[in-house]
A and B are shown apart, each in its own frame.
Chain A
Amino acid sequence: MIAGKSHNNLPDNQRIVITGIGLTAPNGNTLAEVRGNLLNGRRGVQPCEIRYVGKTLAGICDFDAKRYQSRKDIRRGTRAGSVGVFCANEAIADSGLDWENIDRSCVGIYIGVTEHGNVETENEIFELKGYDYDTSVWSHHHNPRTVANNPAGEIALNMKITGPHYTLGAACAAGNVGLIQGAQMLRLGECDLALAGGVSESIHTFGIFASFKSQGALASNEDPTKASRPFDINRNGIVVAEGGCIYTLERLDDAKRRGAKIYGELAGYAINTDATDFVLPNAERQAECVKLALGRAELSADQIDIVSSHATGTGAGDEQECAALRAAFGENERTHFNNTKSFIGHCMGAAGSLELAGNLLSFEDGICHATINVDSLDPVCALRNLVMNQPKEIGKVEYILNNSFGMLGINSVVIIKRFKD
């Protein structure tokens, strides 16, 4: 991870571990619930009505925002803020940290977002139309709702955290990028506890749906639960979803000192850029990103047990990722591939962190959850050991690699290893 140093020989104050997970997904509001639903095939895609767009499909969360926020704060803030507040509080609760006695100035908040501000801007313009575009009725809440740091800032306000807080705009790679940033800041000593991950409120903006539709990339299906179908030959696009997943990350020496439960340890990561197209992915750069992460982790491809793919269910996207995965992993026997979006749609800025979370319990149960809705496998997506439609027992899991890619050619890879002291 650090140039010139083996990740196996890092001192404990440079080893980063996951000690808490808070999430909301279209198929669950706790890790146990999401994991159970990934193993039993329960989907989270539903019909919904979007302003101007009309009837479409989306992954919708049903978390209880009032658990951690007053009704006034919910009204004043944003959906992404509420998702973040819920996930961050749940992560702290899960971590077992003595939160009341934590020095809040030593906590950092690093939240990945695909976009932010579209929802609030669209809502204001919709209101404004009813007043003949008289801007004197434009809300004074608009700026604090739409500043790019809003979701992280709402977490800070809610939890009285006075350390650094900001978001990371990284398209649909953002969930991984938030996690990576948290780890980097811990290693630099910029914070002692990182709340890191990603959030998405994207199902509340018609623009996301309309733009994907104009691009020919919005999924449709008579059966909502079948609409998100990466790797299937009849896939026809993305199901937009909302959600969030925030981790508590700690340096290993701190985690050990308090006897923390450890979900896994960061073994490696990489972020790179295609620099070739606004929207079309680039298999060569994706493969380079995977190899870079493997190299930094000092791992060979055939040491990875599970690859959580990014595949969104678009024609070109899935094909390019599969080409990248073949280039990086070859035909090795050990590595299995799956996909979370087939269950819940694409949680955008939350996708990276959420999809990783759903796989972490494989360290405990030795099961690789499936990619579902593969009724007819696209031959170009026929990866060896693609776990289709039913979960698969694969034995002891040592390493999980999580892909997350985004528009403007941003690629991110995170590798988590089973924790061993």
Chain B
Amino acid sequence: MTPEEIRDEILNILEDIAPDEDLGDLKDEIAFREQLELDSMDFLDIVMELRKRHRIQIPEGEYGELASMQSTVTYLTPLMKDMQKT
């Protein structure tokens, strides 16, 4: 998957776990928590969906890499580069 495709996938996950949010204005370089009403359980949802959909196991110590869209895509790109977009 390309970084753009990974971004789309994260957006898709966010639409599921934060259905009341308008994601159209999401700024990639700003932390999710500063733009969206997300709590720790929501971040666990992101981790869980990556695990369920793509079998990606993110170590707890690296959850901080998912702080913003930009950091998430950067972190996931090497892990998902050989995956096909479904």
A72–B20 contact, CB under 8 A? Answer: yes
Chain A contact residues: helix, strand, loop or mixed: helix
Q: How far is the CA of A139 from the CA of B20 in the complex (A)?
A: 21
Q: With the chains together, A136 CA to B19 CA distance in Å?
A: 24
Q: B79 within 8 Å of A by Cβ?
A: no
Complex Cα–Cα for A76 and B45 (A): 10
A67 contacts partner chain B, Cβ-Cβ < 8 Å: no
- Distance in angstroms from A128 CB to nearest chain B CB is 10
For window 46-78 of A, CB contacts with B under 8 Å fall at 70-72, 75-76
Measured between beta carbons, the chain B residues less than 8 angstroms from A141 are: 41
Are B19 and A71 interface neighbours, CB within 8 A?
Answer: yes
Q: Please tell me which one of the listed residues B17, B18, B19, B48 contacts residue A137 in the complex, with CB atoms under 8 A apart.
A: B48
Q: Is B35 an interface residue (CB 8 A)?
A: no
Per the bound structure, the CA–CA distance linking A72 and B18 in Å amounts to 6
| A133 part of interface (Cβ distance < 8 Å) | no
In this assembly, does B51 line the interface, its C-beta being within 8 Å of a C-beta of chain A? yes
Measured CB to CB, the nearest residue on chain B to A131 is B52
A140-153 Cβ-contact flags toward B at 8 Å (1 or 0): 11000000000000
A265 to chain B, nearest CB (A): 42
Cα distance, A71 to B48, chains bound together (Å): 19
Main SS class of interface, B: helix
Q: Give chain B residues whose Cβ lies under 8 Å from the Cβ of A139.
A: 48
B55 to chain A, nearest CB (A): 9
Could you tell me if B51 and A137 are in contact, using CB atoms closer than 8 angstroms?
yes
Chain B nearest Cβ from A157, distance in angstroms: 12
Say yes or no: is B44 at the interface (Cβ < 8 Å to chain A).
yes
CB-CB nearest in chain B for A71: B19
Cβ contacts under 8 Å, B17 to chain A = 72, 75
CB contact between B41 and one of A70, A131, A140 (< 8 Å): that residue = A140
B44 engages A75 (CB within 8 Å)? no
Q: In the complex, A219→B41 CA distance in Å?
A: 41
A311: min CB distance to chain B, Å: 42
Considering the complex, give the chain B residue whose CB is closest to the CB of A144.
B41
B57 within 8 A of A: yes
| Distance between Cα atoms of A70 and B57 in the complex (Å) | 30
Shortest beta-carbon distance from A137 to chain B in Å? 5
Report Cα–Cα, A181/B20, bound state, in Å: 36
Q: Known contacts being A71-B19, A72-B17, A75-B17, is A140 close to B51, with CB within 8 Å?
A: no
Interface residues of A, CB < 8 Å — how many? 11
Q: Tell whether, in the assembled complex, residue A71 and residue B20 are in contact, meaning their CB atoms are under 8 Å apart.
A: yes
Separation in Å of the B40 CB from the closest CB of chain A? 9
Which residues 65-112 in A have Cβ within 8 Å of B in the complex? 70-72, 75-76
Name the residue of chain B whose CB is nearest to the CB of A72: B20
In the bound assembly, the distance between CA atoms of A141 and B40 in angstroms comes to 11
Instruction: Tell me which residues from 204 to 219 in chain A have a Cβ below 8 Å from any Cβ of chain B.
Output: none
How far apart are B80's CB and chain A's nearest CB, in angstroms?
18
A137 vs B51: C-alpha distance when bound (angstroms): 7
Contacts of A72 in B (CB 8 A): 17-20, 37
User: Would you give the shortest CB distance from A74 to chain B, in whole angstroms?
Assistant: 9
State the CA gap A71–B14 with chains docked (Å): 13
Question: Can you list, as one digit per residue, whether each of B17-50 has a CB less than 8 Å from chain A (1) or not (0)?
Answer: 1111000000000000000010001001100100
Chain B residue at smallest Cβ distance from A136: B51
Residues of A within 8 A of B18 (CB): 72
- Check B41–A76 contact: CB distance below 8 A: yes
> With A and B bound together, what is the CA distance between A47 and B53 in angstroms?
33
List chain A residues, Cβ under 8 A from B41. Answer: 76, 140-141
Among residues of B, the one whose C-beta sits closest to the C-beta of A75 is B19
Once the chains are docked, how many angstroms separate the CA of A70 from the CA of B20?
A: 7
Nearest CB of A to B11, in Å: 16
CA distance A137 to B52 in the complex (A): 6
Q: Which residues of A contact B52 (CB under 8 A)?
A: 131, 137
A102 to B15, CA, bound (A): 36
Q: Which chain B residues border A136 with CB–CB below 8 Å?
A: 51, 57
Residues of chain A in range 110-141 having any CB-CB distance to chain B below 8 Å: 131, 136-137, 139-141
Residues from chain B with a CB closer than 8 A to the CB of A140 are 41, 44-45, 48
With A and B bound together, what is the CA distance between A267 and B37 in angstroms? 47
User: Ordered nearest first, which 5 A-B pairs have the shortest CB separation?
Assistant: A71-B19, A70-B20, A140-B44, A137-B52, A71-B20
Residues of chain B having any CB pair with chain A under 8 Å: 16-20, 37, 41, 44-45, 48, 51-52, 57
9 A-B Cβ contacts within 8 A? A70-B20, A72-B18, A72-B20, A75-B16, A75-B17, A75-B19, A137-B52, A140-B41, A140-B44
